[in-house]
Amino acid sequence: MRATLEIPDALIDDLLKVTGERTKTKAICLAIKDFIRRKRKEKLLSLSGKIRFDLDWKEMEEIELKGMKEREKLRNSR
């Protein structure tokens, strides 16, 4: 996608130096990807202690296997 942006030259120069990229496009794409990754990580970390799982892994596996068996029954009955 093409876009026209007004980004200060000093900021672009710093970005090129920090990323080691040779083109503005690659440097900006890398910066955007890194920003998105960090924001997603922050969002996940903010959930720390807010989500509680009552099931242990064995119970979860049993539930999953039961669901798979039920889906297989439905598929075979058609």
Q: 11: burial class by Cβ within 10 Å (0-12, 13-18, 19+)?
A: exposed
- Taking the complete model, does pTM exceed 0.85, yes or no? no
Is 4 contained in some domain? no
Is 32 contained in some domain? yes
- Per the structure, the count of domains in the chain is 1
Q: What is the mean pLDDT of the chain?
A: 92
Is 58 contained in some domain? yes
The pLDDT of residue 51 is 79
Is 3 contained in some domain? no
Is 1 contained in some domain? no
Tell me the pLDDT tens digit for each residue of 28-43.
999 999 999 999 999 9
Is 41 contained in some domain? yes
The tokens for 12 are 């672009």
Q: Are 43 and 35 in contact (CB under 8 A)?
A: no
Range of the domain at 64: 9-77
The tokens for 76 are 């075979």
Is 59 contained in some domain? yes
Is 17 contained in some domain? yes
